[in-house]
Amino acid sequence: MKKYRIAVAGATGAVGREMIKMLENRNFPVESVKFLASERSAGSKLTFNGKEYTVELLTKDGGKDTDIALFSAGGSVSKEFAPHFAADGCFVIDNSSAWRMEKEVPLVVPEVNPGDLKKDKKIIANPNCSTIQMAAALKPLHDFAKVKRVIVSTYQAVSGAGQKGITELAEQSKAWAKGEEIPAASKFQYRIAFNLIPQIDVFDEYDYTKEELKMTNETKKIMGDDSIMVSATCVRVPVFRSHSESVWIETEKPLSPEKAKELLSKAEGIEVIDDAANKKYPMPLDAEGKQVTYVGRIRKDISNAGNGLTFWVVSDNLLKGAALNAVQIAETLIKNEIV
List, by residue number, the catalytic residues: 129, 243
Q: Please say which residue, 211 or 250, places its beta carbon nearer to ligand NAP.
A: 211
Point out which span in 67-75, 105-113, 145-153, 252-260 binds ligand NAP (CB under 6 A): 67-75
Residues whose CB is less than 8 angstroms from the CB of residue 185 and which lie 6 or more positions away in sequence, other chains included: 168, 191, 192
Q: Does 70 bind ligand NAP (CB under 6 A)?
A: no
| Rounded least distance, CB 163 to ligand NAP, Å | 4
Cα(290)–Cα(122) distance, integer angstroms: 29
Nearer to ligand NAP, 74 or 257 (CB): 74
Give the DSSP letter of residue 4.
E
Per CB under 6 A, which region of 7-15, 22-30, 101-109, 114-122 contacts ligand NAP?
Answer: 7-15
Closest CA to 264 of 309, 220, 305: 309
- Does residue 244 interact with ligand NAP by CB under 6 A? no
Count of other CB atoms within 10 angstroms of residue 293: 29
What CA–CA distance (Å, rounded) separates 105 from 16?
A: 22
Distance CA 311, CA 261 (A): 10
Give the strand pairing for 147-156 and 243-251.
antiparallel
Which of 318, 329, 330, 333 is the binder for ligand NAP (CB under 6 A)?
318
163 scored as a contact of ligand NAP (CB under 6 A): yes
User: Residue 219 in 3-state DSSP?
Assistant: helix
Burial level of 183, CB count in 10 A (0-12/13-18/19+)? Answer: middle
Q: For residue 336, which of 115, 39, 22, 163 has the smallest C-alpha distance? A: 115
Tell me which stretch binds ligand NAP (CB under 6 A): 6-14, 85-93, 219-227, 246-254. Answer: 6-14
Out of 131, 159, 315, 328, name the contact with ligand NAP by CB under 6 A: 159
The answer to the question of residue 83 lying near ligand NAP (CB under 6 A) is no
CB of residue 249 to ligand NAP, shortest distance in Å:
23
Quote the DSSP letter at residue 255. -
7 binds ligand NAP (CB under 6 A): no
Residue 295 CA to residue 312 CA, distance in Å, equals 6
Q: Which residue, 264 or 318, has its beta carbon nearer to ligand NAP?
A: 318
Among 73, 150, 230, 298, indicate the residue that binds ligand NAP (CB under 6 A): 73
- Letters for 94-133 (x = contact with ligand NAP by CB under 6 A, - = none) are -xx--------------------------------x----
Query: In the complex, which residues of this chain contact ligand NAP (CB under 6 A)?
Result: 10-16, 37-38, 40-41, 58, 72-75, 77, 95-96, 129, 159-160, 162-163, 317-318, 321-322
